[in-house]
């Protein structure tokens, strides 16, 4: 059953909110976490009924906090996705020269497929081996399957250099990995993609493994056919957006037009793939990643919503599909609820549930890109317990939703303590692993930082030469 059919149910479920409290409280944080990271929500996978249920819970929390809908009269911004559901496993048949009987490969073990459009079977295609760039055909041919290096960067770079970006115009792109084999996976899980970027003219990409890959590379297999059975349907997903309208100050009434975006992502990576054995935990609950950030952000919304109006306008953005590649945030940045040029800063919250000993332990929060803007030093001078990211080699600055705003030229940074969590993306990322004293102190630091930004007392700015992207 597709998500659309289950959305009404998700909206009717009235999951209880914690007792109203304008302070960042441990009891409220725990209540949020015990819901968001419960087994019942199955890891909050993208485009699932559980995701719709979470977004409904967050919207009700914002409404009770006095935060207004951020999308006209709604708290929801639709993020259009497409889901391909398979009705049977993909099949790959290959023929040697002069042979009528096909060699059939096992999906998962000997090949995998990345579908780029509708799940359509191909005709029988002629294989062309591309060992070097000059082996590429001079013209695209929909009846040809290009057999290329396993290095995606190299092979797709050649295609783009010759005017065949992403292999457009060919029947299939086949990457070979002779030294690898996979494992049987059964029916592939539904594939989710961004509807606004979906390209109908890209060929599917096969990865062939094991001896068959070597035979392809050696030119022994001259024809192949990919058979697919499935359907591709629009699938609803949504960001949650709330707003507190700014009122400016007597000295700076124009501050009301400036916007601070406070954000966190509410999705996680769902269930482990493959057949589940009885009694084995397969739910990747995502308590720290990023139910902790969402819980803190809901507390910030309640604290700010119960106080005097801010000078700057505040947008609360709870992002969908971060684990898919920050899809919800990219969609918001391209379709913002306020003029993009009015956004002066994004302060993102990511993984605040466990102390980071390298950063100083309980209550010590760090700011990604500390050295890139004026915010870190301003927070420190204001007495906030915030320090620099102690693991710059891991490039956390570019690994969370803030980077989407940075790419738009907006100051964007993340408050986190998640640099050394052994439960990252594991079934062990459970509520009982979190430290609620630590989370409350981090939440208080985040609230102080948010108040400083929304009051208009500081103006976020890049340091000279920033923003520079890419590993340093």
What's the rounded Cα separation, in Å, for the pair 325 and 373?
25
215 and 241 both lie in a single domain? no
Q: How far is CA 214 from CA 150, 209, 262, 324, in A?
A: 12, 8, 51, 32
Instruction: Verify that 273 and 407 share a domain, yes or no.
Output: yes
Query: Containing domain of residue 215, as a range?
Result: 88-228
Q: What is the DSSP string of 293-359?
A: HHHHHHHHHHHHHTSSPPSSEEEEEEES-GGGTSHHHHHHHHS-SS-GGGEEEEEEEE--SS-BGGG
d(CA 168, CA 170): 6
| Spatial separation of the C-alpha atoms in residues 353 and 344, rounded to whole Å | 27
The CATH number of the domain holding residue 197 is: 3.50.30
pLDDT digits (tens, 9 = 90+) for 247-261: 999 999 999 999 999
Q: Domain end: 228, 248, 281, which one?
A: 228
Answer whether residue 57 is part of any domain.
yes
The yes-or-no verdict on residue 471 having pLDDT over 50 is no
Where does 25-120 show beta strands of DSSP type E?
68-69, 76-86, 91-96, 103-105, 111-114
Taking residues 357-371, what's their average pLDDT? Answer: 95
Q: Which residues contact 385 (CB under 8 A, 6 or more apart)?
A: 363, 364, 365, 441, 445
Taking the CA atoms of residue 41, residue 43, residue 49 and residue 55 in that order, the dihedral angle to the nearest 10 degrees is 80
Are 258 and 403 in a shared domain? yes
Last residue of a domain, one of 228, 247, 264: 228
Asked if 73 and 184 sit in the same domain, the reply is no
Q: Is residue 471 part of a domain?
A: no
* Residue 152 banded pLDDT, cuts 50, 70, 90: confident
Give domain status of residue 462, yes or no: no
Spell out the residues 6+ positions from residue 271 whose beta carbon is closer than 8 angstroms to its own. Answer: 42, 43, 45, 282, 283, 284
Residue 459 lies in a domain: no
Which residue's structure tokens are 């993340």?
414
Distance (Å, whole) CA 35 – CA 359? 29
Same domain, 375 and 277: yes
Find out whether 414 and 389 touch, Cβ atoms under 8 Å.
Answer: no
How many percent of the chain have pLDDT more than 90? Answer: 82
- Residues whose CB falls within 8 Å of the CB of residue 335, separated by 6 or more in sequence, listed in order: 77
Q: Are strands 172-177 and 103-105 parallel, antiparallel or unpaired?
A: unpaired
What mean pLDDT do residues 350-358 have? Answer: 95
Contact call for residues 222 and 95 (beta carbons, < 8 A): yes
Give the CA count within 13 Å in the CB-facing half-sphere of 137. Answer: 19
Q: Is residue 157 one of the residues assigned to a domain?
A: yes
Average pLDDT over residues 117-137: 94
Place of tokens 């968001």: 36
In 10 A of CB 341, how many CB atoms?
A: 12
Residue 378 lies inside a defined structural domain of this protein: yes
Comparing CA positions, the residue from 119, 303, 320, 148 lying closest to residue 226 is 119
Could you give the CA distance from residue 330 to residue 359 in angstroms, rounded to a whole number? 30
3-state class (DSSP) for residue 226? strand
395/413 same-domain check:
yes
> Which tokens is 245 given?
């309208």
User: Cα separation of 414 and 410, whole Å?
Assistant: 13
Q: Are residues 423 and 278 in contact, defined by beta-carbon separation less than 8 angstroms? A: no
Mean pLDDT along residues 431-452:
97
Task: Give yes or no: residues 61 and 114 share one domain.
Answer: no
Mean pLDDT of all residues in 433-441 = 98
Dihedral angle sign, alpha carbons of residues 164, 167, 173, 176: positive
336 within a domain of the structure (yes/no): yes
> Which CATH number is 19's domain given?
3.40.630.10
Examine the domain organization and report whether 317 and 443 are in the same domain: yes
Looking at the domain assignment, is residue 467 inside a domain? no
Whether 2 shows a pLDDT value over 50: the answer reads no
260, β-bridge pairs: 314, 345
Q: What's the number of domains the chain is made of?
A: 2
Q: Do the Cβ atoms of 367 and 386 come closer than 8 Å?
A: yes
Range of lowest pLDDT (10-14, 52-56, 101-105, 292-296): 10-14
* Helices marked H in 179-336: 211-217, 293-305, 327-334
Distance, in Å, from the CA atom of 296 to the CA atom of 349, rounded to the nearest integer, reads 8
Per-residue confidence at 5, pLDDT binned at 50, 70, 90?
A: very low
pLDDT tens digits for range 397-426: 999 999 999 999 999 999 999 988 899 999
Strands 111-114 and 103-105: unpaired
pLDDT in tens, 80-103: 999 988 898 999 999 998 888 999
d(C-alpha 8, C-alpha 71), whole Å: 19
Specify whether 410 is located in the same domain as 349: yes
Domain check: are 203 and 253 in the same one?
no
Which domain-ending residue is among 178, 203, 228? 228
d(CA 76, CA 320): 11
Given a contact cutoff of 8 angstroms between Cβ atoms, the answer to whether 268 and 289 are in contact is yes
Q: What pLDDT is recorded for position 400? A: 95
Residues 216 and 243 in one domain: no
Residue 35 confidence (pLDDT) above 50: yes
The mean of the pLDDT values for the chain is 92
Same structural domain for residues 376 and 443? yes
Sequence-distant (6+) residues with CB within 8 A of 349 are 262, 263, 264, 290, 293, 294, 296, 297, 414, 415, 416, 446
């Amino acid at each position: 059953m597709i998500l659309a059919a289950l959305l009404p149910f998700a909206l009717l479920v009235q999951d209880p909110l914690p007792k109203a409290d304008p302070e960042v409280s441990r009891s409220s944080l725990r209540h949020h976490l015990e819901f968001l990271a419960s087994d019942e929500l199955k890891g909050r996978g993208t485009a699932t009924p559980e995701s719709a249920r979470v977004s409904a819970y967050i919207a009700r929390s914002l409404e009770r906090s006095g935060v207004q809908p951020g999308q006209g009269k709604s708290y929801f911004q639709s993020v259009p996705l497409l889901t391909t559901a398979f009705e049977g496993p993909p099949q790959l048949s290959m023929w040697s020269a002069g042979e009528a009987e096909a060699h059939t490969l096992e999906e998962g073990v000997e090949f995998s497929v990345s579908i780029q459009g509708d799940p359509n079977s191909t005709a029988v295609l002629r294989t062309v081996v591309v060992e070097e760039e000059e082996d590429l055909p001079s013209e695209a041919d929909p009846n040809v399957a290009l057999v290329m290096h396993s290095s995606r960067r190299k092979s797709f770079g050649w295609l783009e250099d010759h005017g065949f970006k992403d292999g457009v115009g060919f029947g299939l792109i086949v990457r070979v990995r002779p030294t690898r084999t996979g494992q049987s996976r059964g029916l592939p899980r539904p594939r989710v993609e961004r509807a606004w970027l979906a390209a109908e003219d890209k060929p599917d990409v096969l990865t062939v493994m094991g001896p068959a890959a070597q035979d392809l590379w050696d030119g022994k297999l001259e024809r192949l056919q990919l058979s697919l059975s499935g359907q591709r349907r629009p699938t609803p997903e949504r960001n949650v957006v709330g707003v507190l309208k700014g009122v400016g100050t007597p000295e700076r009434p124009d501050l009301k037009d400036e916007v601070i975006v406070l954000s966190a992502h509410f999705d996680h990576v769902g269930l482990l793939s493959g057949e589940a054995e009885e009694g084995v935990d397969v739910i990747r609950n995502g308590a720290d990643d990023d139910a902790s950030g969402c819980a803190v952000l809901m507390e910030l919304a309640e604290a700010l919503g119960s106080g005097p109006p801010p000078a700057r306008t505040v947008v609360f953005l709870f992002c969908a599909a971060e684990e898919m590649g920050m899809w919800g945030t990219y969609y918001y940045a391209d379709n913002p609820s306020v003029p993009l040029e009015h956004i002066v800063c994004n302060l993102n919250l990511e993984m605040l549930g466990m102390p980071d000993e390298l950063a100083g332990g309980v209550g010590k929060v760090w700011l990604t890109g500390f050295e890139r803007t004026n915010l870190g030093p301003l927070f420190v001078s204001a007495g906030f317990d915030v320090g620099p990211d102690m693991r710059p080699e891991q490039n956390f600055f570019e690994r969370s939703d803030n980077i989407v705003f940075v790419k738009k030229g907006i100051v964007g940074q993340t408050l986190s303590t998640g640099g050394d969590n052994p439960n990252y993306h594991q079934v062990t990322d459970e509520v009982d692993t979190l430290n609620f004293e630590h989370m409350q102190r981090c939440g208080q630091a985040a609230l102080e930082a948010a108040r400083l930004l929304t009051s208009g007392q500081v103006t976020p700015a890049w340091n000279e030469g920033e923003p520079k992207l890419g590993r340093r």
